[in-house]
């Protein structure tokens, strides 16, 4: 039986009153944790002894199995501090994926290093190891693989390339806490890993926060010094106010730390529900022709931070129609049904004005240090461009552990749109 599309006056598959979903989930434990921290003796991380920040660092390291965890103010600061602690600086190049959040491209620039963008894999949306190899020069010092949308990057290939060329690896795991690659937690496979606790991420704080992890004692020490003015802060040792190296103020606030400790205690329960809800949802959608659903590769756990779907015009009998026309048609029809499809990243990172115009530290720096060419808008990165043109995402709603029923309604909406493929094709042709 075919029902009328909501965009054409039919009844929406997702009733209006079912559409609102909270994220993050704020429970009484979270409120209590924040209030307790507020009444506690230590509101900053620069004191010795136990405080909310050190408790978060220990809980995170223990839960995921990291050697060291260093809490910082946000995920962007975490990335640039990791590069600083590894000695990446002026004249160095850092290879990053062309599809990511802007922070991954900015972090090298914060260290006056030049970001060099590599194309992505069409299925995992993660950095393509072959393209990493093509972009290595004698100035390359590091790679930042991003576990985009929660899917582990190809760490076997990436660590192999890094070992052969003597490069450092900083994993940007902002979207992937809990994801694993061959049984190992992402973030703990390269030299260092960074996480974001920004309020929209899988394990949030009530605002901004970030975490660095590493198995290397010395590197952890360098991260701690860099977090606090270059000072050495150790339990039982009086603060001496000496800067032993360049540092920033990237400290985390105790209230943010306390909130995340409370969230972390519920993470496993949430994660089990999410895995169940999302795999069930994707299994239904995988049956629809011309729809590429996200998948977890064998021997990996996907954290499903964002669900990205690609639409193939050929499967709709739309050869020659621009993928953007199909994408915007599907977006309009699904949104009318109550599924909040949206884009994530409107352009490849190298097209961002900051990189095209080389808006750095003045006089063309950091690019001027090496004479490296800046990026040119519209150049290269065919896979990244294709993915941005032909895909849409679902964000946040599916993170709620109780979203199983809502995802079933979303699946009804997709199926309904797919029952009207002729109409989709007509509208996409008109939009083209
Ligand atoms: C969110 C995010 C960041 C930055 O984290 P903030 O805490 O917002 O600074 C970095 N990289 C990726 C891939 C992200 O999604």
Angstrom CA distances, 207 to 201, 270, 308, 395, stand at 11, 20, 25, 18
In this structure, are residues 147 and 173 in contact, taking their beta carbons and an 8 Å threshold? Answer: yes
Tell me whether strands 140-143 and 168-172 are parallel, antiparallel or unpaired. parallel
Q: Which residues are catalytic?
A: 201
Written as one string, the DSSP assignment of 370-409 is: HT-----TT-S-HHHHHHHHHEEEEESGGGSTT-HHHHHH
How confident is the model over 174-189, as a mean pLDDT?
98
In tens, the pLDDT along 94-140 reads 999 999 999 999 999 999 999 999 999 999 999 999 999 999 999 99
| Radius of gyration of the chain measured on its C-alpha atoms | 23
Q: How far apart are CA 58 and CA 333, in angstroms?
A: 47
Min mean pLDDT across 14-28, 184-198, 369-383 is at: 369-383
Instruction: Name the residue of 149, 152, 175 to mutate for ligand 1: max ligand atoms within 8 A of Cβ.
Output: 175
CB atoms within 10 A of CB 11: 11
- In the structure, what pLDDT confidence band is assigned to residue 378 with cuts at 50, 70 and 90? low
Could you tell me if the CB of 252 is within 6 A of ligand 1? no
In this structure, are residues 421 and 385 in contact, taking their beta carbons and an 8 Å threshold? Answer: no
Distance 174 CA to ligand 1 centre (A): 5
How confident is the model over 283-288, as a mean pLDDT?
97
Could you tell me if the CB of 193 is within 6 A of ligand 1? no
Q: Please state the atom number of ligand 1 nearest to the C-alpha of residue 77.
A: 9
Instruction: Name the residue of 101, 149, 345 to mutate for ligand 1: max ligand atoms within 8 A of Cβ.
Output: 101
CB atoms within 10 A of CB 335: 17
Could you tell me if the CB of 337 is within 6 A of ligand 1? no
Could you tell me if the CB of 80 is within 6 A of ligand 1? no
In this structure, are residues 237 and 249 in contact, taking their beta carbons and an 8 Å threshold? Answer: no
In sequence order, the 6+-apart residues with CB closer than 8 A to the CB of 422 are none
Q: How far apart are CA 402 and CA 135, in angstroms?
A: 44
CA atoms within 13 A on the CB side of 70: 30
Q: Please state the atom number of ligand 1 nearest to the C-alpha of residue 76.
A: 9
Tokens 């949306």 found at? 125
């Amino acid at each position: 039986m075919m029902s009328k599309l909501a965009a054409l006056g039919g009844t929406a598959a997702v009733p209006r009153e079912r559409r609102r979903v909270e994220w993050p989930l704020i429970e009484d434990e979270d409120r209590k944790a924040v209030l307790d921290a507020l009444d506690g003796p230590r509101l900053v991380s620069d004191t010795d002894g136990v405080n909310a920040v050190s408790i978060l660092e220990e809980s995170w390291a223990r839960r995921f199995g990291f050697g060291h965890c260093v809490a910082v103010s946000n995920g962007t600061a975490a990335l640039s501090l990791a590069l600083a602690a590894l000695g990446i600086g002026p004249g160095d190049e850092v290879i990053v994926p062309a599809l990511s959040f802007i922070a991954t491209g900015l972090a090298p620039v914060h260290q006056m290093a030049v970001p060099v963008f590599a194309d992505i894999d069409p299925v995992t949306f993660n950095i393509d190891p072959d393209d990493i190899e093509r972009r290595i020069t004698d100035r390359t010092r590091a790679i930042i693989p991003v576990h985009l949308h929660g899917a582990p990057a190809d760490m076997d290939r990436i660590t192999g390339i890094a070992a052969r060329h003597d490069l450092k690896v900083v994993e940007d795991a902002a979207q992937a806490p809990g994801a694993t690659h061959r049984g190992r937690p992402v973030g703990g496979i390269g030299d260092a890993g960074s996480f974001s606790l920004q309020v929209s991420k899988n394990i949030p704080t009530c605002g901004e926060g970030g975490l660095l992890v590493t198995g290397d004692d010395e590197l952890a020490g360098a991260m701690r010094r860099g977090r606090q003015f270059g000072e050495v802060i150790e339990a039982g040792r009086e603060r001496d106010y000496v800067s032993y190296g360049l540092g920033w103020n990237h400290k985390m606030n105790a209230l943010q730390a306390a909130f995340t400790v409370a969230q972390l205690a519920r993470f496993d329960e949430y994660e089990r529900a999410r895995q169940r809800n999302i795999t069930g949802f994707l299994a239904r959608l995988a049956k629809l022709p011309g729809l590429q659903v996200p998948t977890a590769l064998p021997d990996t756990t996907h954290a499903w931070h964002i669900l990205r779907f690609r639409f193939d015009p050929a499967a709709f009998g739309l050869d020659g129609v621009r993928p953007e026309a199909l994408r915007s048609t599907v977006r309009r029809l699904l949104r009318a049904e109550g599924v909040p499809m949206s884009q994530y990243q409107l352009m490849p990172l190298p097209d961002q004005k900051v990189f095209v115009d080389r808006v750095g530290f003045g006089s063309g720096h950091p690019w001027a240090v090496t004479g490296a060419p800046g990026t040119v808008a519209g150049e290269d990165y065919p896979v990244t461009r294709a993915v941005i043109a032909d895909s849409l995402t679902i964000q946040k709603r599916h993170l709620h552990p109780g979203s199983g029923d809502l995802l079933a309604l979303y699946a009804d909406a997709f199926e309904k749109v797919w029952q009207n493929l002729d109409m989709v094709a007509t509208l996409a042709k008109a939009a083209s």
